[in-house]
Structure 1
Amino acid sequence: MGTDHHPFPRLVRWLDAWATAHPEVRVLLQHGATPAPDIASGVEFLDHTELRAAMAEATAVVCHGGPATIMEARHAGHLPLVVARDPELGEHVDDHQFRFVARLDAAGVARACPTEDQLHAVLDKALAQPDEFRVPPGGAATVEAAGRAGELIDLLRPGARGTGTDGSDHSPAPATVPATVHTTEEPWPDVTVVVPTRDRPELLRHTLRSIVGQDYPGRVRTMVVFDHDDPDLSLADDDPERPVRVLRNTQQPGLAGARNTGILASGTELVAFCDDDDTWLPHKLRHQVELLHRDPNTDLVCCGVQVAYEDTEIDRVLHTGQVELRDLLESRLTELHPSTFLFRTDRLVHDIGLVSETIPGSYGEDYELLLRSARMGVVRNLPEVGARVLWHRNSHFSGRWGMISQALRWLLNEYPEFRLVPRGYARITGQVAFAEAGARRRLKALRWIARTLWARPVEPRAYLALAVSCGLPPRWVINALHRAGKGI
């Protein structure tokens, strides 16, 4: 885990969990500034001789995204399994390890393991097929790779050539990497990413860096649409491969109008959404476009997310390839987050229709667009994590219970199909009941609780709404659910 002074407890937890499931395997962690593991063997620091000896004896080497450690593993003949440090979790000063590890993974120099499940799966495979994770030890290629690594780190660190004084990245995107699945000789289609924003300047810069850092070989345009704010023109960038354009919302004020402003200004074959407090994993866009290429009938591709709330992070992945309307009526399927949406622009604008601007407060506009997309065409899902979604107490909708209730009732009127699916109907009415209880409209809450229990007596939202109507603070319920990666 290197000698960085930032702790990295996430990787210790992941490896302790794997060690628990594999008691026959010795797992040795050089944990540095991080507290020692509970299950695996731990040592604070190894000198260089001890480190080389341990790597020489190992079946597999796992490390953080430090170039020296990665190249040390390759020198010992291992394909390093790398978990990048996340600055939003206090694991590093910035996000350069994400981009650096993505480039090494794409070039075959290392294997990126961005989630716990992926790390565990790769370790299982390394036990079963160790030869697949061996590389020729030492040699000129390793030295050359180390030099390229240093150049990349210099380019990506805050304040380096091409970055602003605040650390925001305005440098040209790294050179594209040949695709592994997209085998057609046709060029990769241009993509526009629509990023609506309001009052989140620091989070927005993280979002933009994750979009610019995609390993997608084609051109990616970003439309930053300011809603209720004056546009920050310093974000604009004329880079030919990763341009960033700054716009003002010219549609109905609100999230839906901001998304539509970006969609209508896109002019590209594909259009994607990303919220201003979320980030993309480097492979996200490339993998989704590959899926679209394989199935020309698909209108919308989604993927899984990693939910981060305070000190908790949970992967939410839907393990199915196609999503039907009934699936969405029965469950919101929160794995299908708007920050993962990738549409064929023509189908979205002319057949499915733009994001609804009539929903009160734009609440649930993403869910309604999913329902409409499944009504009109084919919605596919990539069963892997492609985006990191930040849940926090400063949500735009936090505490706006009256507006939330109004929006949910609008949804029930627009989609009478909910009445044919009792589980889904009770879910929405239970949400209305909770919102009414949160707004301290006790009598209305009790009426919606009764309607919910009539449709589905075991619907938990009805009982949570009853507790709130009796005085339990709704924020306590929301916080507890968010820590479990869930929501009302």
Structure 2
Amino acid sequence: MSSPPDVSVVIPTRNRPELAVRAVQSALGQTHRDLEVIVVIDGPDPSSETALADVTDDRLRVIVLASSGKAPNARNQGVNNARGRWVALLDDDDEWLPAKLETQLALAATSKLASPIVATRMISRTPRADSVMPRRLPEPDEPLSEYLTVRRGLFYGDGFIQTSTIMAPTALLRRVPFTVGLRRQQELDWTLRALQHEDVELLYAPEALVLWHQDENRERISLQNPWEEQLEWLRANRELFTPRAYAAFTMSVLSSMAAPTRSTKVFREILTEAREHGRPGAIDYVTYLQIWALPPSVRHRLRDVVLGRKTADA
């Protein structure tokens, strides 16, 4: 067997062969060449197997799971099969720019801790516009749960982390696996749990090195609204958040999932959760009210205006 690569790229996929091949090609096209790409097909999927078989690069490995366990389980299975010291995660509907891994490895080498999580900025592409996320990087000594959740604007957040931006030591991803069964906020859950360990820090490359395709005309996990499941997860993980972060997440992310119910009972329940177990700020109350008062399509258009987004064609 050849010597282990520096990086193992893990891509979970199911029934999206064209997207999976696009993601694989962006990983194989990295300027850092010492890598392997592990595609984990989440259950029987002959179309994806056939499409990936046409990729003629011996750095590609394909694992087919016997049954579907969803993306967190597929990621964990890929990590367990990784040979590299580092694992870089890539969702099948995203792409990397060529210098992503080279940039992250250079940044990881500057860490004083044994297990740095290295993320990057990304280009968020919707049918309406492109924008760079996160809008800012963490400030010195800023609690990371607050960086990732507390808003400074009514229609957007500043801090952000997304799965396809994450590179971390393989040993860390085995020590802290993804939570199987969690449908939303998988990367936030994993990042905050990993940061509980003393040898872990979060580093950001300032460059936007990932293209996050937010196609709104196809099924995506981030378009699902399992607010009751998310509230259960939030309550079980209060220790991961400062009171300020807990209130901010409850009144922005969680309320965005719950608002389509148009239920006054749910409105009161979520507000009570934030007030009793968190410390809301003035912007959280205004955010909460506009989320419940305005349809998502209106909020999205207003956000684009506020951020001054340029369309992808501009």
Distance in 1, matches of 2:170 and 2:139, equals 20
Alpha-carbon separation, structure 2, partners of 1:207 and 1:315: 20
Larger radius of gyration: 1
- TM-score, length-normalised on structure 2? 0.78
Alignment partner of 1:426 out of 248, 264, 283: 248
* 1:88 alignment partner in structure 2: none
Change (3 A) 1:277 1:252: closer
Quick check: 296-305 or 427-436, which moved more?
Answer: 427-436
Q: Return the match for 1:261 from 57, 69, 77.
A: 77
Number of the residue aligned with 1:314? 131
Partner of 1:375, secondary structure, is: coil
Contact map agreement 1:280 1:386 (CA 8 A) in 2: yes
Q: Which amino acid aligns with 1:461?
A: T
Correspondence for 2:153: none
How many Å apart are 1:327 and its aligned residue?
A: 2.2
**CA 1:482 to 1:268, structure 2 compared with 1: closer, same or farther past 3 Å?**
farther
**Secondary structure of 2:288's aligned partner:** helix
Query: Structure 1 residue 272: deviation in Å?
Result: 0.7
Distance 2:43 2:4 in 1: 35
CA distance in 2, matches of 1:395, 1:479: 21
Partner of 2:36: 221
User: What TM-score comes out, normalization by structure 1 length?
Assistant: 0.52
- CA deviation profile, 1:43-94 (whole Å, cap 9, x unmatched): xxxxxxxxxxxxxxxxxxxxxxxxxxxxxxxxxxxxxxxxxxxxxxxxxxxx
Helix, strand or coil: the match of 2:196?
helix
Aligned-residue CA RMSD in angstroms? 3.0
Which residue number in structure 2 is paired with residue 348 of structure 1? 173
Equivalence for 1:447: 269
Asked if the contact 2:31–2:99 (Cα under 8 Å) also holds between the matched residues in 1, the reply is yes
- The CA distance in 2 between the partners of 1:201 and 1:294, in whole Å, is 37
Q: Deviations over 1:442-478 (max 9, x none)?
A: 31123323554773343143113331xxxx5445435
1:326 to 131, 140, 143: 143
Equivalent-residue separation in structure 2 for 1:323 and 1:405 (angstroms): 34
Residue in structure 2 matched with residue 63 of structure 1 by the alignment: none
Q: Aligned residue for 1:437?
A: 259
- The answer to whether residue 180 in structure 2 is matched with residue 367 in structure 1 is no
Q: In structure 1, what is the Cα distance between the partners aligned to 2:248 and 2:139?
A: 24
User: Is the contact made by 2:43 and 2:66 (CA closer than 8 Å) also made in structure 1?
Assistant: no
Cα contact 2:138–2:144 (8 A) shared by 1: no
Specify the alignment match of 2:28 in structure 1.
212
Secondary structure at the aligned position of 1:336 is classed as: coil
How far apart in 2 are the matches of 1:221 and 1:373?
A: 24
SS in 2 for 1:245: strand
Structure 2 segments unaligned to the other structure (5+ residues): 150-157, 310-314
TM-superposed CA distance for 1:190, in Å, is: 2.3
Is 1:463 aligned with 2:282?
A: no
Distance 1:301 1:251 in 2: 31
Residue identity (%): 22
Label 1:457 to 1:423 Cα distance change in 2 as closer, same or farther (>3 A): farther
Name the structure 2 match of 1:397. Answer: 221
Distance 1:264 1:312, change over 3 A: same
Deviations 1:145-199 (A, max 9, x none): xxxxxxxxxxxxxxxxxxxxxxxxxxxxxxxxxxxxxxxxxx9952111111133
Find the aligned partners of 1:305 and 1:399 in 2 and give their Cα distance: 19
Matched letter for residue 222 of structure 1: V
